Amino acid sequence: MISTDFKITIVGLGLLGGSYASGLAKKGYKVKAIDINQEYLEHALANKWIVEGSDDPSLVSDADLVIFCLYPNTLVKWLNSYQNLLKPNALLTDVTGVKRSIMSKINGFLRTDVKFIYSHPMAGKEVSGALYSDSNIFKSANFIVIKDEDIQAMQTIKDLATILEFKNIVELDAKSHDEMIAFVSQLTHVIAVCLMNVSDNTHLKDYTGDSFRDLTRIAKINENLWYELFMQNKDMLLKEIDAFTRQLDHFKEVIINDDEEEMKRLFRQSSMRRKEFDKK
């Protein structure tokens, strides 16, 4: 396990950064945070999530572990600008929801005396900023660590996930991660957004039940973050949209043709598969 003497700095004190800080503080770790938003820093200091906070990148210079909780493009730019401030042998990790694109960029310029183990905590809320941070969001969430040859460094990041009480810790390679995320997260967000955009159906709000609300909850979406996430996983996302569109076209044909047998087969298949997701 990670010693509580380990110096940890979080770069980016948004919803996730604040939740990491809060979860680590609860377990006795002394955390520093870098953010340009003074209100977030003060909130984290007032709640004793962090022992020091600043907008000064040099706060990173004594850290054994740096956790980047930034948007994909900001992460790449930050590292490119300030990696000279990192302590030799520092271990780095992130929270980014796409992997291949940022990894190929960062690995192209990263100092060889530091180690980056990429990870993705699959947790969030439909709100942003440290004022909404809450480490309880990790208790029902999956933590994905991208496979690396440095087993020991990978283990430290898995230990971090254990400290933060993630429900489940899984290893994946970057491509499998991006493929999986294109289906389970990105395609579902595209669907929810398109469903809300079909027409102005807000007058229907008096008639909707839980299923419509459940299906569209994620249509409340952070436009800047998700634009980056979609663009950096364009190939995989387009593949998933195409596959889904083919299914939808097929279902439409089944309705038009009143194909009872095929419709019922599709219902049975979807029910059977979905039940698998209910199993613990």
Question: Which one of 39, 140, 150, 152 is in contact with a second copy (CB under 8 A)?
Answer: 140
Angle at 243 between CA 239 and CA 248, to 5 degrees: 145
Give the interface segment with a second copy, choosing from 16-24, 74-82, 127-135, 210-218 (CB under 8 A): 210-218
Quick check: 55 binds a second copy (CB under 8 A)?
no
Query: Using H for helix, E for strand and C for coil, what is the string for 164-198?
Result: CCCCEEEEECHHHHHHHHHHHHHHHHHHHHHHHHC
**Shortest Å, Cβ 261 to a second copy:** 10
**Shortest Å, Cβ 209 to a second copy:** 5
**Shortest Å, Cβ 133 to a second copy:** 18
Nearer CB in complex with a second copy: 5/276: 276
Quick check: 194 binds a second copy (CB under 8 A)?
yes
Nearer CB in complex with a second copy: 48/252: 252
**Shortest Å, Cβ 253 to a second copy:** 10
Asked if 91 contacts 158 with a C-beta cutoff of 8 angstroms, the reply is: no
Nearer CB in complex with a second copy: 89/202: 202
End-to-end CA distance of the chain: 27
Quick check: 199 binds a second copy (CB under 8 A)?
yes
Asked if 66 contacts 60 with a C-beta cutoff of 8 angstroms, the reply is: yes
Quick check: 245 binds a second copy (CB under 8 A)?
yes
Quick check: 149 binds a second copy (CB under 8 A)?
no
Quick check: 234 binds a second copy (CB under 8 A)?
yes
Cα(84)–Cα(77) distance, integer angstroms: 13
Question: Which one of 157, 218, 229, 236 is in contact with a second copy (CB under 8 A)?
Answer: 218
* 47-56 contact pairs (CB < 8 A, 24+): 47/22, 49/18, 49/21, 49/22, 49/24, 49/25, 49/133, 50/10, 50/13, 50/21, 50/25, 53/13
Quick check: 247 binds a second copy (CB under 8 A)?
yes
Quick check: 25 binds a second copy (CB under 8 A)?
no
Cα(173)–Cα(271) distance, integer angstroms: 30
